[in-house]
Amino acid sequence: MSDARRVFVVIGIALASACGSSAATPPNPDGRPEIAVRVGAEGYDPAEVTAAAGAPVRLVFTRTTDEGCGQQLVFPSLDIRRDLPLNEPVAVDLTMPADGRVRFTCGMDMYDGALVAR
Ligand SMILES: [Cu+2]
């Protein structure tokens, strides 16, 4: 692929995610902090995010590859399960438990991610 063509592909992906953002992400009227998490072939980036204890927070997951197994997102302790379409941000609203740590993983419990109280 030539450099010029590569640039167009990158812009196309950026535009596609921007459009997906308005479609897949519900409004955020209470202004909860949003934390972006990329889902790649090796897992979550960042793999650990922090939020204030007891505070509402929104995690926005975007899966950017068909490699690996990030197609499903699971918060085992909260009984939350979401599909992650390629390059479409998916918002998960939750309240950070005061005692500290909410784990998230893929549909087969192989990836490791966590929301940690600070
Ligand atoms: Cu998996």
CATH number of 37's domain: 2.60.40.420
Residue 24 confidence (pLDDT):
63
Average pLDDT, the chain: 84
Give the separation between CA 83 and CA 103, rounded to whole angstroms.
17
How many angstroms does the Cα of residue 42 sit away from the middle of ligand 1? Answer: 10
Cα 7 to ligand 1 centroid, rounded to whole Å:
31
Other Cβ atoms closer than 10 A to 87: 15
- The DSSP 8-state label assigned to residue 33 in this structure reads -
pLDDT band (50, 70, 90) for residue 49: very high
Domain count for the chain: 1
Q: Is the pLDDT of residue 11 over 70?
A: no
Percent of the chain with pLDDT over 90: 64
- Residue span of the structural domain in which 42 resides: 3-117
Q: Tell me, what's the pLDDT at 104?
A: 97
Q: How far is the CA of 112 from the centre of ligand 1 (A)?
A: 10
**What percent of the chain shows pLDDT beyond 70?**
80
Q: pTM for this one?
A: 0.78
